[in-house]
Amino acid sequence: MSLTLDEKIALLKEVGEEIINIDELREMIQWKTEHKEDIYAYDGFEPSGNIHIAQGLLRAINVNKITKAGIRFKFLIADWHAAANKKFGGNLEVIKEVGDFFIELWKVSGMDLSKIEFIYASDLIKDDKYWELVLKIGIETTLKRVKRCTQIMGRSESDKLYASQILYPLMQCADIFYLPADICQLGLDQRKVNMLAREVAKKFNKPKPVAIHHHMLMGLNKPPATNLTGVDRIIEIKMSKSDPDSSIFMLDSPIDVKRKINKAYCPPNQINENPILEYCKYIIFELIDVFEVERPQKYGGNIEYKSYNELQKDYKEGKLNPPDLKPSVIKYLNKFLAPVLEHFEKDRNANKLYQFVQNEYRKYKANDI
């Protein structure tokens, strides 16, 4: 049974921590539906080694909501972008293999692939029209603005930048119009380039893409004390691949999951900037109906939560403590990751891909990946 417009918007609001803007989104869906035209959302990924839980489970949760709303999805495997960003030393052959690994993992992460198309950037760049679009965007964009956009690839304006990294934001902006995409469905760290795309759209007489920015899971470590706020703060404390203990990876063993969660930052009574509660809210409660906590009778006995809000309330009031919560989080995460581990252990091709990625990852410094 097809969803109403309001039901579709409600689903997309569950994905978008920020939507720019909701009126345009509603109008676009209504117009395309009436004219029987497909709606496309896109996200782009640099093939950059291991995939953490935000790129795996959380991505699957968000994509499934988007496709349930009747929207088709395009995944851009940004291999040339990764090369431009000096990932794996710019070795395109290695990067493309890592892209294959990403796709293989998404196939077993619970993602509904029936309305998803995987596209490699290396196929886009063969077209002269793509580079014409990149150049046109460059003509309309100052160098200062481009350097501000380098945040999208984990760099800053003060970093030593290669010429290829200056080209990167122009390419990502061009991707949106070349694919084309009605919706840019990326993390909040990609906000600046999405805003650039919306601005240049006017100059090219193209529809402005709607930006649906999803929540970015914070790292498991204690967040640093700084003066940053808003989006900059979210980006500062997000999980990082360069520190393996700040993230749960999709192929972490049960032992690794247990070790990382047990040492994770989780202050009693604190519900803000608490990574364990974030895992509960954005992953676990999205995949289960009842959250079970097992504890001795002297500490209140076993308890069940049917919503995240119930759990958060008890945690804030001290009725649920970290030693109660963490074992349940470990149990559920290992349950969700078990099918992925089994697939990459038993499927020969999948295992070969994983071993290749691990071997290549070890050759490069983590902060280069």
Domains of the chain (ranges plus CATH)?
5-23+37-214 (3.40.50.620), 230-368 (1.10.240.10)
For residue 181, what pLDDT is reported? 97
118 with 77: CB under 8 angstroms?
A: yes
By the 8 A CB rule, do 119 and 179 touch? yes
Quick one: pLDDT at residue 367? 44
pLDDT value at residue 150 = 83
Residue 293's identity, in one-letter code, is V
Per DSSP, 243 falls in state S
Which residues are within 8 A (CB) of 147 and not within 5 positions of it... i.e. 6 or more apart?
157, 161, 166
Amino acid at 157: E
Taking 70 as the pLDDT cut, the residues of the chain under it are 1, 152, 155-158, 365-369
Query: For 296, phi and psi rounded to 5 degrees?
Result: -60, 155
* pLDDT of amino acid 315: 97
CA distance 363 to 348: 23
The answer to whether 244 touches 230, Cβ cutoff 8 Å, is no
Q: CB of 134 within 8 A of CB of 174?
A: yes
Rounded Cα–Cα distance for residues 39 and 14 (Å): 18
Q: Length of the chain, please?
A: 369
Check residue 1 and give its pLDDT: 64
Between CA 366 and CA 207 the distance in angstroms is: 39
Residue 316 main-chain phi, psi, to 5 deg: -60, -35
Q: Degrees (nearest 5) of the Cα angle 161, 166, 170?
A: 160
Which residues lie closer than 8 Å to 228 by C-beta, 6 or more apart?
A: 236
